[in-house]
Structure 1
Amino acid sequence: MESRSFQRLIAKELLVWSVALVGAYATFHSFEPLYERVRQAATDAGFSHLFSFEQTSPGVSRFNTRVLTASSLPLRGTINAGQTDQASTARKVVLSANDYGHFHAMAAIRGQQVEFMTDTGATYVALSYETAQKLGLQPQSLRFNGRSTTANGVARVASVTLDQVRIGDITVRDVQAVVAEPGRMAQNLLGMSFIKQLSGFELNGSKLTMIE
């Protein structure tokens, strides 16, 4: 008796799975209303996970698990803030990959020159503790209550806002950034809090073009 009930349960589940999968296939190709009915039936039967799709953005991590490693983008050469590459026009800066495939740029922040490596894997612009001191951000008074993964392991970070970051002719204002605790970052990173404010960001071979 129990065996027969178990077989009926298995058969029912297989039927629901089959209907859900066939319905989903047909719907995605032509029948959206049918898809909704099949999705609801599957949800009622406890198979809602079949219709759950999560979209993620490559190279961009959440605040408490941000990646501050320099592995996302390849750059050759350094462009000084206030000086535009000859190939740059109309608030455009072109960077060239260095021998290691990384893109470096000099940025003007609070009247100081700061070297950055471009990294789409960093959610925010990331500053070393020493750079923050150089910029007069008084890192000793900051609250290091965030956590980040760096090339040197997990480090505590503090949030700051930079009034503006200027690279060549490009100026981006109100840039969110993080400062790493002392000795945990050897390289400042130009992360997505700067990049996402650009109107263009194109990688073509060994050339990286940023457009304000």
Structure 2
Amino acid sequence: MTNDDTMQLVYYGVLLLVIGGAMIFELAGRGGQVLRQLMLWAVIFAGAALAADWWIAGNAPRQQMLDGGRIEIPVARDGHFHLTAQVNGQEVRFMVDTGASSIALGPADARRVGLDPDDLAYIGTAMTANGQVQTAPVTIDEIAIGDIVDRNVRAWVIGGDLDGSLLGMSYLRTFARVSFEGDLLILER
């Protein structure tokens, strides 16, 4: 669960508490009716929240691979650009990070693509938003984004609590053009 998910859950909980408190105040002294009304409002509220999340997720713009090696990545709700790639045959969602010097795989993504973080030599360090972390150099056999396939790509596995993975400048430099068009990140080969 991400911080955004946690904050959204807290928000919904507080909202439910306020509505529930108002209902209890309004229906005080009518016990059975209060319980039925609270349950009805809880179901209505939960259904509306789930429907809104489903609708937003279903209508969110998605990454597109166009002819000529052009990739269009829309800005996500969190304000970042997220690119999905096949890494060693497994889907990995990267946050595009122009502040990162290279590809950084979080421990969970590393495991999914066939790299065991426990068996790596953490010989480097990196400064992250959460402070200094240990890093282990690795070679990714294959990264594929649509028809674009790169082999033997250098990367690092982060030896800390990195949720997800970062797509940094070493990989972005393999594109002939990296630009922004409104709320789109454009990558072209």
Verify same fold: TM over 0.5: yes
State the distance in 1 between where 2:109 and 2:62 align: 18
Map of 2:143 onto structure 1: 165
Map of 2:72 onto structure 1: 94
Displacement of 1:77: 4.6
**Counterpart amino acid of residue 139 in structure 1:** P
Does 2:91 correspond to 1:113? yes
Does 2:175 correspond to 1:175? no
Map of 2:19 onto structure 1: none
Displacement of 1:140: 1.4
Higher mean C-alpha deviation, range 111-120 or range 193-202: 193-202
Map of 1:6 onto structure 2: none
Map of 2:53 onto structure 1: none
Displacement of 1:151: 2.7
| 3-state SS, counterpart of residue 102 of structure 1 | coil
Map of 2:101 onto structure 1: 123
Identity among equivalent positions (%) equals 35
- Number of residue pairs matched by the alignment: 130
| 3-state SS, counterpart of residue 115 of structure 2 | coil
Which has the larger share of strand? 2
Q: Give the TM-score taking structure 1 as reference length.
A: 0.57
Any unmatched runs of 5+ in structure 1?
A: 1-75
State the distance in 2 between where 1:194 and 1:173 align: 12
Q: Give the 3 Å change call, closer, same or farther, for CA 104–199 of structure 1 in structure 2.
A: same
Map of 2:81 onto structure 1: 103
Q: Give the TM-score taking structure 2 as reference length.
A: 0.64
Any unmatched runs of 5+ in structure 2?
A: 1-59
Q: Give the 3 Å change call, closer, same or farther, for CA 77–105 of structure 1 in structure 2.
A: farther
| 3-state SS, counterpart of residue 131 of structure 1 | helix
1:97·1:206 contact (CA, 8 Å) conserved in 2? Answer: yes
Displacement of 1:138: 1.9
Measured on the aligned residues, the alpha-carbon RMSD in Å equals 1.7
1:148·1:154 contact (CA, 8 Å) conserved in 2? Answer: yes
1:105·1:116 contact (CA, 8 Å) conserved in 2? Answer: yes
Which has the larger share of helix? 2
**Counterpart amino acid of residue 156 in structure 2:** V
State the distance in 2 between where 1:101 and 1:138 align: 31
Instruction: Pick the structure with greater CA Rg.
Output: 1
State the distance in 1 between where 2:94 and 2:86 align: 11
